[in-house]
A and B are shown apart, each in its own frame.
Chain A
Amino acid sequence: MQTPERAGPPLWLLAELTYSCPLQCPYCSNPLDMADHKTELTTEEWIKVLRDARKMGATQLGFSGGEPLVRKDLEILIAEARSLGYYTNLITSGVGMDEARVKAFREAGLDHIQVSFQASSEELNNFLCGSDSFQHKLEMARQVKAQGYPMVLNFVLHRHNIDDVAAILELSKALEADYVELATTQYYGWAKHNQNNLMPTREQVKSAEAIAHQYQKDLEGQMRILYVVPDYFEDRPKPCMNGWGSIFLTIAPDGTALPCHSARIIPGLELPNVKQQSVDWIWHESPDFKKFRGFEWMKEPCRSCDEKEKDFGGCRCQALMLTGDASNTDPVCDKSPQHDALLAQVAEIEAQQVTEQPLVFRNMRESKKLSRQTN
């Protein structure tokens, strides 16, 4: 069992190479104040992180961002990762890639590319990401497949595209995707800021789920569909990060080590940085990674709950955002004393038919503006 003192290896390393991104998705999970964290680790610093984490047993590696393609040294990092024995996943919007680069990644030893789409129609896709990228994404998805990678497509669902699930799955089928991830927006970073404008209604969620399940049945053995249910509509929380400091290690662009990509919002963390500390010390010794590891930190009702080994009390960031205290039970859980308040909030958002406030797009200009407002 995990205790604050004894942790297994960080099996999953997420390397957020940069916060730069040519797109501006309003549901982006990057921090709102990303403009204040623009420094990036150098190639050598990243290579050291990869080596140290691999030595500790990290096996799955994700390159993400922002848009990882913005980094010119991506090919070098991929080659290093492959020679260390990682299974390397590139999580990208496809913007910044072309046939030659897909091929260079292949030669460097990349195992898998996940291409994200904003919607199944060109118009909505381009509106949501603030760029004319749809045709290019289609082309990149085809390239991924043509060059022998598994084709994994990712769609983030929300109020504006969740009714198109059938069209999304038809598009995926036409592209001959191997896996499709339909992930309902999780409310972190920009998504939290735009929550009232993104949260689907219960009805929308129900019908999307039914359609996804039908496709899962029809396409069994041909295309795997992962449908991630939006947890605001559940009565048990997700086992966030498989438990804090249990298997996931995120390194932010500036070298800050985080137990989950949005942990920066939790007050009182020391935010250790790989520039000053070893990955080994950060994982095993830093107060941050011990803070919610295991079960000792839990309050009631989690502490004496017989389901705590299943969901670890849910998500710490969600507990913070919804209850003001990161060590509370995630209010998605119906045993949480704050669950009713969450239901009321969801109902209130649902009732707002038309969105009065416009979507705020994710970009450095808005980030600076928001920082100024809060400081």
Chain B
Amino acid sequence: MSTETVYQLNPLFRLQWEEAQQCYVLLYPEGMVQLGASSAEILKCIDGEKSVQMIADDLSAKFDDDSVAGDVIEFFDVAAKQGWLNANT
């Protein structure tokens, strides 16, 4: 994965806040992943326009913490392998 890649959420998945569970979830055919706060924060930034690097920089600035960028990039790697994301081509 390159940090210049622009992703969008795989259209087969839906990101949604669940009041009863008090967390964001990713929904897909007959399944659901409960997301931690930071994963949800990252997924919400994915808009099909910003690159991985841009999102990593944005979130580092937002939380005023340089170590965030690395975590974000790592998350993209995992999320892409899980099939949650599609790369824009």
Contacts and interface: CB of A to CB of B under 8 A. Distances in A.
A, B: real partners: yes
Given A9-B21, A57-B21, A85 B16 contact: yes
B29 A111 contact: yes
Contacts of B32: 11, 59-60, 87
A133 B83 CA distance: 33
A57 B27 contact: no
A228 to B, nearest CB: 12
A62 B83 CA distance: 22
Interface in A83-129: 85, 87, 89, 111-112, 114
A59 B14 contact: no
B17 to A, nearest CB: 9
Interface residues of A, number: 20
Contact of B30 (A9, A60, A148, A178): A60
A137 B24 CA distance: 36
B36 interface: no
Nearest to A86: B27
A179 B29 contact: yes
Contacts of B31: 60
B37 interface: no
A82 B44 CA distance: 21
Given A9-B20, A85-B16, A59 B29 contact: no
14 contacts: A57-B18, A59-B18, A59-B21, A62-B30, A87-B14, A111-B29, A112-B28, A112-B29, A112-B30, A114-B29, A150-B29, A152-B30, A178-B12, A221-B83
Interface of B: 11-12, 14, 16, 18-21, 25, 27-32, 83
Interface of A: 9, 11, 56-57, 59-60, 62, 85, 87, 89, 111-112, 114, 148, 150, 152, 178-179, 221, 224
